Amino acid sequence: MRGARSSDITLWVFLAYFLLSIALIAWLFWPFGSPLIMACVVTGLFNPLFKRINRRSVPWLSSLGTCAVIFLVVFVPIILFVGILAQEAFDLYTMGRTAEISDQLQRLVEGSHVLDRVNALLAPFGFKVSVGQFQGAFSELGKNVGLFLFEQTQTITSNILIFIVNFFFMLLVCYYLFLDGQRLLSFIFDVSPLPKVQEERLVARFQDMAGAILIGNGVSAIIQGVLGGGVFALAGLQSPMLWGVIMGLLAFLPIVGIGVVFLPATVILFLMGRFGTGIGFIVFYIVITLSIEYLFKPRIVGKRVQMHTMLVFLSIIGGLKLFGILGIIYGPLVVTAFLTLADIYQHHYQASIAPEG
C-alpha cells in the first residue's frame, strides 16, 4: 500500500517537473512563435512538392530545392509589392482623411442627379438619402481600409531587417521539417499519452482541414485579387494593385467577399455615366463569385472537410483583430484545432463520460 502511494507521489512529481519543462520550452521559443507557426503551415502546404522532388533526388537536395521554390513564390513578390502597396495605401488614407474623396463624390452625385431619383423612390417609405451620407460613408471606408493596410505594410517596411531575418529563419525551420518532420511527429506520438490511433486521426484531420481551408481560401483569394485588380486596371480606376490586394484579403471572408469593393465601385461607375463598364463589373462579380464558390472551391476542398460559413467568417475577423494580417491564417487554424479535438472527443470519449441513463 505504502509502495503504491509512494509510486503515485513520484508520478505526480515527475508530471509537475515535465509540465514545468514544457512551459519553460514554450517561454523560451515564444519570441520565435510566428516564424515557427508559419514554418509548420508552409511545410504542410509545400510537402507534396517536396515528396515529388524527393523521388528523383536525395533528401537534403530536395528540401533545399523546395525552400528555393518557397523563396521565389513568397519572399520575392512580398519585397516587390510591399513598397508600392504602402504608398498606394497611404494615398488612399490621405484621400479619406482629407476632403478629396468627399469632393469627388459630391461632384459625381450632384452631376448625375441620381440622388433625386433615389429619394423619389424612397419618399413613400419616409427615407431620404443625402450627399453628406454618401460622403461620410465612403470617406470613412477609404480612411479605415487605407490606414489598416498602410499600418500593415509599414510594419514590414519599418522592420525590414527583422522581416528578412524571420523569413530566412522560417526557411531554415522548413528545411529541417522537410527532412525530419516525420521523426518529430513520431517523437510527439511516443510522448503523448493518447492512443496512437487517436493521435494519427488528430493529425490527419487537422492536416485535412487546415490544408483545405488555407489552400481553398488562399488560391481562390489570389485568383479573385489578381482578376479584380486587372479589371480595375482595364477600367482605368486608381490604385488597381492596392484594390487587388484588398479584394484578395476580402475574398477570405465567405459572406462579404470582394462585393465590398465591387458593388461600391459599380455605383461610382454608374454615377460617372459609365453604364457599360458598370454592367460589366456586375457581370464579372457574379461570374467570378459563382465560379469560385460553386465550382473551384468544392473541387479543391472536396467533401471530406467542411467548416460552417459563419464560423470561417468569425475566425478570420477574430484573427485579424488579435494577430493583424496573419490572423487570416491563425484564426482558421485555431478553429480547426478546436473542431479536430471536438471530433476526437465525440468519437472516443463522449460515450465514456456521459452518464448512463
Q: Does pLDDT of 66 surpass 90? A: yes
**Top-confidence residue, 203 or 125:** 203
What are the pLDDT digits (tens) for 224-281? 888 988 898 888 887 787 778 778 878 877 777 888 888 888 877 877 778 888 888 8
Measured between alpha carbons, how far is 297 from 29 in angstroms, rounded to an integer? 36
List the grid coordinates of 179: 527532412
> How high is the pLDDT of residue 76?
78
Query: How distant, in Å, are the alpha carbons of 65, 84, 127, 138, 163 from that of 35?
Result: 20, 25, 52, 37, 10
Averaging pLDDT over each range in 15-19, 98-102, 111-115, which range is the top one?
15-19
Q: Does pLDDT of 353 surpass 80? A: no
Q: Does pLDDT of 150 surpass 80? A: no
The pTM score is 0.67
Measured between alpha carbons, how far is 32 from 11 in angstroms, rounded to an integer? 32
Q: State the pLDDT confidence band at 179, using cuts at 50, 70 and 90.
A: very high
Which helix (H) or strand (E) covers residue 268, if one does? helix 259-271
Q: Does pLDDT of 96 surpass 60? A: no
The angle at the Cα of 298, spanning 292 to 300, to the nearest 5 degrees, equals 90
Q: State the pLDDT confidence band at 177, using cuts at 50, 70 and 90.
A: very high
268 contact partners, CB below 8 Å, separation of at least 6: 105, 108
Q: Give DSSP secondary structure letters for 223-245.
A: HHHHHHHHHHHHTT-S-HHHHHH
List the grid coordinates of 101: 474623396
If you search the block for the grid coordinates 504608398, which residue do you land on? Answer: 87
Measured between alpha carbons, how far is 160 from 129 in angstroms, rounded to an integer? 46
Q: State the pLDDT confidence band at 351, using cuts at 50, 70 and 90.
A: low
Measured between alpha carbons, how far is 76 from 187 in angstroms, rounded to an integer? 35
Query: How distant, in Å, are the alpha carbons of 49, 50, 145, 217, 342 from that of 84?
Result: 31, 32, 16, 24, 43
